[in-house]
Each structure stands twice: as structure tokens, then as C-alpha cells.
């Protein structure tokens, strides 16, 4: 007798970094994305799914797997300051910063601490929940993958030599686990050499997924991450469709593992999802880059290589178009004073800090303040209630009959609130207008291209395609996808 579980379709989630509506539609219209076109025509396309904030992959993917924002999953962004350990955590912004912070420590944060220590154990991942129910899952190249199965990451010789890391690292993952050259389903070394980012590339992800399909090893749930489009958009800008064309070739190869593409839909539910968008960045380097060291030059800012010293007053956690700014002594350096300085720069559109349970938001564009906190008479489109007062233009709010509609900053209240309660310390948030990004000591820059991290809808709105089921998430937010996935699989 066939069990109810075996009658269900397998679920395959393809997580494509920086999958945005504008590029998807342009590529499909020009005929350069036949696989995406096939999924759209045989499913449903949603161009306006809201990503978590900060719009950085580690935070976004943590929300995807746990179903909570960063105030609960505790991975605040790509770069942040750990008050307890008194050091800056960096999961891989740029090698310049990693070298200054210490390559061994940085690689330990990336390869072990992120999944096994920093990601809160108070909220189980989809892999852990399904494992508890006896359901097997697979993860391919995802940044966040925590499961219940102990596994060994085999650090490549050259990487071990450069970083001083042990050649083997224990981690906890799903039963079927592929993580570049460090752990894979099969022993083929194709697309996994150091000049190919040790397998953290689209071809490797596609080959690992094809292996599961061909060997009939697809479990009830598989998630595979495709990182390359992010870099293409970073370099060439929001309108670049060449990256879409390349990822579509990978999707075609995956579909070709079935006798017909329609068979792929008959056998599986396919979800193709972006993680964050990207905002355009000005071509004028001097104008595009907001150097926080210059803006806050009246304070003593922590140097990456030196670490925290008794003289330091401020720590910068730069996440491209967003930054955490920490005061190490709020009596001498109040966050409101820092906010007053940032307000003078009209390239910064959102500045926020908390006092108790109240969030205060100011801007370099609009006058005044906006104060808000959870629970009140106003309800947003996601059923969340709030109280607020002040200049609603700062967050582009429309209010009608106590209903809140978000404009340029989707789900702004919940996303700002989550980030300001995501970790311990006295800190504030700055988010840049489209056209600009923050820099600190060794930050990556994307002048003339595109960047993300910010609260604006250009950073925050992603695309999703669902094919093989009529079901959809309760709301079009990354936050709501985990519970929906569980309903499809269990």
C-alpha cells in the first residue's frame, strides 16, 4: 500500500541570488530564458515578494529556513559586532576585511559559527523539523543549512594552509548535504577547484542537483542555491540580463534530466525564489560612496586590525547599502547625536535606533521624526498591529481607516524592529538611498553597478515562481515561505 507521503510530489526550491522581476521579465521577453519562461507559463509568477532586512543573503536565508526575522534567528547581517566577544563578525564581505580581522577567525565564523553557533537554536530549521518527522531533506550550496546530522567539512589543502584551519570541521546538516568542495554527494571534482570558488558556483549546484535526479535520490525536500547572478548584477547593474541567461542554461540542463520538461512538473513542485534585490549605484565614485569614517570623523572608530581598544567610541558594521553603527559608550556618544550627523547627508534615507520598545526613525531627506512600536490601533497588510506618531513620509506610509500601506519600504515596521532587536548592544541603523552605498575600512564597492543591504524596495523586492501546485504562501514575504513549504511536504 502506498503511504500518503509517497503520493506527494517532491519539493525542489531553487534559491537564485538577486532574482528580480525587471531582469526576469526582460530576459523572458527577449527569448533568453526559455526555462524560466516554461516555469512561468506552467505555474504562477510573483514579482513582488518581500525580503528580510538587512537585505543580505545570510540574514535572508536564515529567515527562509527558520520562518522568523532576525530578532529571533539572531543572524543580524553579513557584518555585525558581537558585544559579548567584543569583536566584529564578518561572514565574507571582502577578503580585505577578512584579512584585517584575521582569516582563521573569519573562516571559523563562516564555516562553523554561522550555522552551528550564531543561528539561534530556539527556532528549528525546516531540515530539523522534517528530520524529527522522519522525512529526509537535501541542501546544496546554501549558506544556511543547519540540520540534525553530524557531518565533516573537509577543508581543501590550500584553504587550510592559508587560514591555518584544521583540515576537518564538524558541522550539523541535513542527511543529504553538499557544500562546495568541502562536502558533496558524489566525488566528482568538476567545478570545485579553488579558481572556481571551491564549488560555490552555479555549475556545481546544478551538477549536484542533476546527480540526485539521475540517481533517483531526490528526497521529499531539496533546496539548492545558485550564487552567480548576484555578482553579475553587482558588476553590470539592475538591468543586466546576461546573468539570467546563464542561470537559465543551468535550469535547462536540470529540466533535461527528465524525459520531457512536463515530466519534471508532474513529478515535482518547483519553487524558484530570489533572496534579495539590488539597487542601482551611481557611476560617480565620489558621489556614490558614503564613507562613514569621514562622516563620523569626530569619533574614534575601531580599526579592523587592532580590534577594540579602550579609546574606541564607535564600531561600524557595514553591510553594503546598510550599516549597523555601534556606540561603545552611550553616555559619551548617544545614538541620537550620531543620528543628527547622519541626517545632514541626503544620500541616507533611513536612520533608526531604539529606546526601550520604541523605534525612532529619521532621515537625510525628510524633516522630523517617526516613532513606532508593536501593538496598537494601526494594522498593516500582514495583519501586524502598530502604534506610531510623527512624519509618515519618512517611511513612505499611506494611512487609511487605521490601515497601513507601505510604499518604498515594504514591511518597514516589522523589518526595522527585527533588525534593531537582532543582537545585544547599543546600535543604530543607517540605510542608503538608491544610487549610494556605505563604505568603511575595506568594504567592497559597486560603483556604476548595483548593491544591496538597504531597506528600499529596490533591495527588498524579489521574484518567485511556483509550478506544480496551486498552493501559495499566506503572504508574499520570505518570512512566510517556511510554514508554506512544510504544508507541501508533511
The pLDDT tens digits of the residues spanning 396-454 come to 999 999 999 999 999 999 999 999 999 999 999 999 999 999 999 989 999 999 999 99
Would you state the pLDDT for residue 458?
98
Q: Give residue 7's pLDDT band: very low, low, confident or very high (50, 70, 90).
A: low
Look at residue 6 and tell me whether its pLDDT is greater than 60. no
Would you state the pLDDT for residue 187? Answer: 65
pLDDT average, residue stretch 279-294:
97
**C-alpha distances in Å from residue 102, one per residue of 163, 187, 275:** 9, 31, 28
- For residue 95, give every residue at least 6 positions away whose Cβ sits within 8 Å of its Cβ, in sequence order, or none: none
Mean of the per-residue pLDDT values of the chain: 93
Residues in the chain: 490
Of the chain, the percentage scoring pLDDT greater than 70 comes to: 94
Spacing of C-alpha 411 from chain mean position: 16
For residue 400, what are the β-bridge partners? Answer: 403
pLDDT tens track for 180-225: 878 777 666 665 444 345 668 999 999 999 999 999 999 999 999 9
Residue 8 pLDDT: 81
Query: 349 or 95: which carries more pLDDT confidence?
Result: 349
Per-residue model confidence (pLDDT) at position 1:
28
Res 139: pLDDT? 97
Across 139-153, 180-194, 371-385, least confident range? 180-194
pLDDT of residue 190: 60
3-state secondary structure of 36: helix
CA–CA gap between residue 280 and residue 452 (Å, rounded): 9
Digit-coded pLDDT (tens) for 253-277: 999 999 999 999 999 999 999 999 9
| 154, three cell numbers | 573537509
- Full set of structural domains in the chain with CATH: 4-75+119-281+455-489 (3.40.720.10), 285-448 (no CATH)
pLDDT above 90: residue 462? yes
pLDDT at 303 over 60: yes
Return the C-alpha cell found at 264: 519534471
Residue 380 CA to residue 263 CA, distance in Å, equals: 41
| SS3 state at 81 | strand
pLDDT at 177 over 80: yes
User: Can you give the pLDDT at residue 199?
Assistant: 63
Name the grid cell of 354: 531604539
Q: Which pLDDT value is given to residue 166?
A: 74
Q: Is the pLDDT of residue 82 over 60?
A: yes
- Determine how β-strand 279-280 pairs with β-strand 168-173: unpaired
Mind giving me the DSSP string for 422-471?
SSSSSEEEEEEPTB-EEE-SS----TTSEE--SSSHHHHEEEEEEES-S-
Q: What is the mean pLDDT of residues 97-119?
A: 90
* Interval 128-153 mean pLDDT: 96
What pLDDT was estimated at residue 107?
85
Residue-by-residue DSSP string for 315-368? EEEEETTEEEEEES-TTTS-HHHHHHHHTT-TTEEEEEEEETTEEEEE-SSS-S
Q: Answer for the pair 51, 412: CB distance below 8 angstroms, yes or no.
A: no
Taking 50 as the threshold, does the pLDDT of residue 5 lie above it? Answer: no
Q: Which tens digit of pLDDT belongs to each residue from 316-344?
A: 999 999 999 999 999 999 999 999 999 99
Whether the bond between 133 and the residue before it is cis, its omega within 30 degrees of 0, is no
User: With contact defined as beta carbons under 8 Å apart, do 313 and 328 qualify?
Assistant: yes
pLDDT band at 39 (very low <50, low <70, confident <90, very high): very high
Amino acid at each position: 500500500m502506498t503511504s500518503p507521503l509517497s503520493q506527494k510530489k517532491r519539493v525542489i526550491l531553487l534559491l537564485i541570488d538577486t532574482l528580480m522581476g525587471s531582469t526576469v521579465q526582460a530576459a523572458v521577453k527577449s527569448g533568453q530564458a526559455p526555462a524560466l519562461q516554461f516555469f512561468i507559463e506552467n505555474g504562477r509568477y510573483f514579482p513582488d515578494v518581500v525580503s528580510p532586512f538587512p537585505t543580505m543573503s545570510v540574514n535572508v536565508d536564515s529567515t527562509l529556513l527558520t520562518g522568523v526575522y532576525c530578532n529571533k534567528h539572531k543572524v543580524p547581517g553579513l557584518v555585525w559586532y558581537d558585544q559579548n566577544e567584543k569583536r566584529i563578525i564578518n561572514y565574507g564581505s571582502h577578503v580585505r576585511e577578512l584579512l584585517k580581522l584575521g582569516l582563521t577567525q573569519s573562516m571559523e565564523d563562516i564555516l562553523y559559527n554561522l550555522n552551528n553557533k550564531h543561528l539561534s537554536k530556539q527556532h528549528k530549521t525546516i531540515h530539523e523539523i522534517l528530520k524529527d518527522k522522519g522525512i529526509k531533506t537535501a541542501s546544496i550550496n546554501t549558506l544556511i543549512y543547519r540540520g540534525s546530522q553530524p557531518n565533516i567539512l573537509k577543508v581543501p589543502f590550500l584553504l587550510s594552509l592559508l587560514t591555518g584551519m584544521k583540515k576537518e570541521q564538524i558541522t550539523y546538516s541535513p542527511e543529504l548535504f553538499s557544500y562546495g568542495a568541502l562536502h558533496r554527494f558524489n566525488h566528482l571534482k568538476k567545478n570545485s577547484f579553488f579558481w572556481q570558488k571551491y564549488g560555490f558556483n552555479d555549475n556545481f549546484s546544478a551538477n549536484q542537483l542533476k546527480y540526485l535526479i539521475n540517481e533517483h535520490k531526490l528526497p521529499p525536500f531539496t533546496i539548492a542555491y545558485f550564487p552567480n547572478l548576484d555578482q553579475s548584477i553587482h558588476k553590470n547593474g539592475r538591468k543586466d540580463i546576461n546573468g539570467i541567461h546563464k542561470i537559465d542554461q543551468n535550469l535547462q540542463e536540470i529540466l533535461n534530466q527528465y524525459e520531457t520538461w512536463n515530466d519534471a512538473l508532474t513529478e515535482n513542485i518547483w519553487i524558484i525564489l530570489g533572496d534579495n534585490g539590488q539597487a542601482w549605484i551611481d557611476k560617480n565614485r565620489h558621489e556614490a560612496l558614503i564613507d562613514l569614517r569621514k562622516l563620523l570623523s569626530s569619533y574614534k572608530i575601531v580599526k579592523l586590525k587592532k580590534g577594540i581598544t579602550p579609546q574606541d567610541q564607535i564600531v561600524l558594521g557595514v553591510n553594503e547599502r546598510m550599516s549597523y553603527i555601534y556606540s561603545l559608550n552611550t553616555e559619551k556618544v548617544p545614538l541620537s547625536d550620531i543620528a543628527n550627523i547622519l541626517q545632514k547627508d541626503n544620500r541616507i534615507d533611513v536612520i533608526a535606533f531604539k529606546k526601550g520598545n520604541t523605534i525612532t526613525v529619521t532621515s537625510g531627506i525628510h524633516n522630523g521624526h517617526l516613532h513606532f512600536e508593536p501593538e496598537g490601533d494601526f494594522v498593516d497588510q500582514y495583519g501586524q498591529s502598530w502604534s506610531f506618531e510623527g512624519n509618515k513620509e519618512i517611511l513612505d506610509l499611506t494611512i487609511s481607516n487605521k490601515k497601513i500601506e507601505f510604499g518604498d519600504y515594504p514591511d518597514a515596521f516589522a523589518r526595522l524592529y527585527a533588525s534593531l532587536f537582532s543582537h545585544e548592544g547599543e546600535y543604530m541603523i543607517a540605510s542608503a538611498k538608491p544610487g549610494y552605498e556605505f563604505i568603511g575600512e575595506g568594504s567592497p564597492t559597486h560603483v556604476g553597478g548595483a548593491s544591496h543591504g538597504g531597506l528600499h524596495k529596490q533591495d527588498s523586492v524579489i521574484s518567485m515562481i511556483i509550478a506544480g501546485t496551486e498552493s501559495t504562501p499566506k503572504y508574499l514575504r520570505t518570512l512566510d515561505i517556511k510554514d508554506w513549504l512544510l504544508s507541501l511536504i508533511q
